[in-house]
Amino acid sequence: MSLSPLQYQEIMRGYELTRDQNRKLLEERREQIYQQIPEFHELDAAVGSYASSRVRLLLENPEEADQKLENPIPRIALRRKALLRAAGYPADYLEPIYCCAECKDTGYVTLENGVRKKCQCFRKQELAYLYEQSNLQGVLQTDRFSNVSYDYCKGDDLEHLKGAVRLSMDFVETFPSGKNLLFYGTVGTGKSFLSGCIANALLEQGHSVVYFSAVSLFETLARYSFDGNAKESLYNFCKDLYNYSLVIVDDLGTEVLSSFVTSQLFSLLNEREMRHRSTIISTNLNLSELRDRYSDRVFSRVSKSFQLCKLTGPDVRMCQKLKAMP
């Protein structure tokens, strides 16, 4: 899942609007030049006359069309540029106007082999939509692999962190692979941070990623599930939830536990596994607590389908705060 049809249409409408605005601007420039430089209008008329004559000759005798008519366009083009420069305008003042010269404001470029691909300007807009729907805008500025710090860990804690970083980077490099990750361990050891690093990298590659805290995820599911007027909303929410390229559930175990939560968690894991979609879960619970809290059925699904990554050590956030204190 990437852009929705509506989002795609909005981007393409934006390109259409841009082209219309630029065409209008070009027409205004041309009228301006016609008023200031009368000869310019005559040159354009000469180009039009030549084009009409050539078409007529091509229809009558295509083999002799180029022999009977001298092509004045190169000479006229040079004269046009000279007139513009003499009047203080750039030589390309009446050339077509594009906000993106690469795709000419169409959103797509054609490669040498004839394949059409999204232009970089399209990708930027696509990425903006993906960031917006990911729920991650607030953390993605800092959650990057380049910002990983090993300053607060030693010994086994340091090795655990290095292993978690390697595992996370491999997850990105092999994506989409259907792999799942469970980050578990003590508070403040980098579980949410590494989830954010993965999300950031995959969003920049154009994959659809969505982040939920466990509390917000199950509250949203409950709100739709127990509202008789929200069946369509529940259907659409679950459809997206099951089909995003990556779903991140952060701080599992902080939500209020109920049979509803347990059943919804199992459904999420089961549905996404059947679709070969990846899921990342982070939790402060240890494996025994995870099994006791969510039932053997959920724990079996996690233990069989997820790569387990344990993080230990001091609370990095607390260490950073203490270090920053005067």
Domain membership flag for residue 129: no
Same domain, 210 and 261: yes
Interior CA angle at 39 toward 37 and 43, to 5°? 125
Same domain, 65 and 158: no
For 278, list phi and psi in degrees, rounded to 5: -90, 145
- What residues pair up with 246 in beta bridges, in sequence order? 209, 278
Of 123, 156, 178, the residue that ends a domain is 123
3-class secondary-structure state, position 252: strand
Same domain, 30 and 105: yes
Domain membership flag for residue 45: yes
Where in the sequence is the domain holding 56, given as residue range(s)?
5-123
What are the E-state strand segments in 64-208?
108-110, 116-118, 181-185
Of 97, 123, 149, the residue that ends a domain is 123
Q: Name the token pair of 169.
A: 């980077």
Gap between the Cα atoms of 150 and 165, Å rounded: 11
Instruction: State pLDDT tens for residues 30-71.
Output: 899 889 888 888 887 877 777 676 666 666 666 665 566 567
How far are the Cα atoms of 50, 76, 219, 290 from residue 251, in angstroms, in the given order? Answer: 73, 70, 14, 12
Same domain, 114 and 40: yes
Instruction: State pLDDT tens for residues 113-149.
Output: 888 888 888 877 876 776 666 666 665 567 888 888 8
Of 123, 154, 186, the residue that ends a domain is 123
Domain membership flag for residue 233: yes
For the chain, the residue count is: 326
What is the number of structural domains in the chain? Answer: 2
CATH number of the domain residue 281 falls in: 3.40.50.300
Same domain, 250 and 277: yes
For 182, list phi and psi in degrees, rounded to 5: -120, 110
For 136, list phi and psi in degrees, rounded to 5: -115, 10
pTM value surpassing 0.75:
no
Same domain, 111 and 202: no
